[in-house]
Amino acid sequence: MTATVRLVPVQAAYDDLLKRSLSKISCDLARLIYLASTRDYNTGSYHHDGLAARFRPEIAGKALEIAHRQIFYQLSACSLEELIEQLQTYLDCSHESAADILRIWQKLEPYRVAIPVEVNPAVARLFLSNIRLALAIWRFRQEQAQKNP
Amino acid sequence: MIGIPTAVLLGSALFLLLLLLATRGSAAAREISSRLDVPLLDDEAGLDPCPREFVARIFAPDDWEFVRGTKSRELQKLFRRERRLVALVWVHQTSTAIRRIMREHTEITRRSHDLRFTTETKLVLLYGELMVICGMLFLAIQSAGPQRVRGLAVYADALSQRLAQAQHDFKTVAARPELHGAGSA
C-alpha cells in the first residue's frame, strides 16, 4: 500500500517529464546530456524547478534519476552505427560548430559526467568506449569527405 | 596412452593453471582500470548486475564488422583495444560476483545444520567450472579478441546467473528454520 502510494506520484512525474521536456529533445544522446545536467555535481541529487513545482522536489528528483538511468541503458545498448547516428543528430541540432564540439569532446571527454550513479561498471565502460569510438569514426568520415569532396 | 594417475595429475595441474589465470585476469583488469575511466568495484553487491543483452553487445561481431567497413587500420586498432578492455572488465566483474556468491554461501553453510552433499558438490563444481571459463575467457580475449568468444561469454553469463539463483534458493531455505524459530519465540 505504502509502496503504491509512493510509486504513483513518481510515475506521474516521470510521465510529465517525458511529455513536457524529453519528447521535445531531438535524440537520446541529447536527452542524456540534459538529464545529467539536472544532477548536482556535489550531492548527486537531481533538480528540476518546473517538475518540483508540479510534484514535490524529492518526487521530481526520483523521476529524473529513473529517466536518466533508462536513457543511459538505452544508449549503451545501441550499436556503434546507431550511436553515430545519435551523435550526428546531436551535432546537427546544436547551435555550435560540429568541429568544435568534436574537438572538445575528444579532448575533455565531458560525456563522462553523463553516467548515472550506481550503474553496472561494465555497461559504463561500454558506454564510454562506444562514445570514444563513435567520435573517432565521425572524425574519420569528416576527414575522408574533405579529402574526396 | 597415459595412466589414470598421470591423467588426474595433468587434469589437476590444468585446473590450477586456469584458476591462476582467472586470478591473474582479474588483477590485470584491475590494473587496466586504474589507468582508465570507470573504477572496478570489488564489492559490487549493491550495484546492478550486468543485463544479459549487454553481454551479447560487448562480445557481438556486428560492431567489429562496421568498423572493419571503414578500412581504417587506426580505427580497427582502436576498436580492438577498446572492446578488449570492456570485455576484460566484464570478466573481472563476473569472477568477482562469483567469488562473492561463494563467500556468502560458505558463511551460510557454516551455520547450517541441514547440508546436502549433492547440492554442495553441484555448487562447488559449478563454481569451479565458472572460474575455469573466466580464466579461458581472459586468455582468449587477450589473444583472439572478444568477438571470437561470444558463445563462451554468453554461456558463462548464464552459468553465473544459475549459480546466483542456486545460492539465493539455498539462502531462502536456510533462513526458514530461523524464521520459524523467531516466530515461535
Q: Which three cell numbers stand for residue B159?
A: 552459468
- Probe site for chain A from B32, B38, B58 (most A CB atoms < 10 A): B38
Dump pLDDT digits (tens) for A124-145: 999 999 999 999 999 999 998 8
Please say if the pLDDT value at position B24 is more than 70.
no
CB A22 within 8 Å of CB A31: yes
Minimum distance, in Å, between the CA of residue A121 and any CA atom of chain B? 7
β-pair partners for A39:
A46
Residue A70 has pLDDT above 80, yes or no: yes
Rounded Cα gap, residues A84 and A133, in angstroms: 9
Lowest-pLDDT choice from A48-52, A130-134, B39-43, B61-65: B39-43
Residue with cell 518546473: A50
What pLDDT does residue A47 have?
96
What's the confidence (pLDDT) of residue B47? Answer: 56
Mean of the per-residue pLDDT values of chain B: 81
| Segment B50-71 mean pLDDT | 92
| A125/B63 touch (CB, cutoff 8 Å), yes or no | no
Q: What confidence score (pLDDT) does residue A149 get?
A: 72
> Is A128's CB within 8 Å of B48's CB?
no
**Would the CB atoms of A123 and B51 count as touching at under 8 Å?**
yes
Q: pLDDT tens digits for A28-68?
A: 999 999 999 999 999 999 999 999 999 999 999 999 999 99
Number of domains in chain B: 1
DSSP per-residue string spanning chain B:
---HHHHHHHHHHHHHHHHHHHHHHHHHHHHHHHHSSSPP-S--TTSPP--HHHHHHHT-SHHHHHHHTTT-HHHHHHHHHHHHHHHHHHHHHHHHHHHHHHHHHHHHHHH-S---HHHHHHHHHHHHHHHHHHHHHHHHHHHH-GGGGHHHHHHHHHHHHHHHHHHHHHHHHHHHHHHHHHHH-
What contacts A34, CB < 8 A, 6 or more positions away?
A21, A22, A25
Do residues A13 and A54 touch, judged by C-beta distance below 8 A? yes
Chain B nearest C-alpha distance from A87 (Å) = 16
> Taking CB atoms and an 8 Å limit, are A121 and B38 in contact across chains?
yes
Prediction ipTM score: 0.86
Residue B62: name the closest of A125, A140, A36, A79 by CA: A79
Range(s) of the domain holding residue B147: 4-184
Longest CA pairwise span in chain A (Å): 65
Say what angle helices A28-37 and A80-93 make with each other, to 10 degrees: 70
- Residue A16: the pLDDT is 95
pLDDT band at B26 (very low <50, low <70, confident <90, very high): low
Q: Where are the domains of chain A?
A: 2-147
Q: What is the DSSP string of chain A?
A: -HHHHHHHHHHHHHHHHHHHTGGGSSSHHHHHHHHHHTB-TTT--B--HHHHHHS-HHHHHHHHHHHHHHHHHHHHTS-HHHHHHHHHHHHHH-SS-HHHHHHHHHHH-GGGGGSPTT--HHHHHHHHHHHHHHHHHHHHHHHHHHH--
**CA end-to-end distance (rounded Å), chain B:** 64
Banded pLDDT at B44 (limits 50, 70, 90) = low
- For range B157-180, the mean pLDDT: 79
**CA B99 to the chain's CA centroid:** 8
Which chain A residue lies closest to B68 (C-alpha atoms)? A137
Residue B181 pLDDT exceeds 70: no
Comparing A47-51, A113-117, B123-127, B154-158, the range with the smallest average pLDDT is: B123-127
The phi, psi pair for B118, rounded to 5°, reads -65, -40
Q: Do A140 and B75 touch (CB under 8 A)?
A: yes
A8 pLDDT tier (thresholds 50, 70, 90): confident
> B1 falls in which pLDDT band (50, 70, 90)?
low
pLDDT for B42 equals 47
Half-sphere CA count of B9, side-chain side, radius 13 A: 5
pLDDT at B185: 40
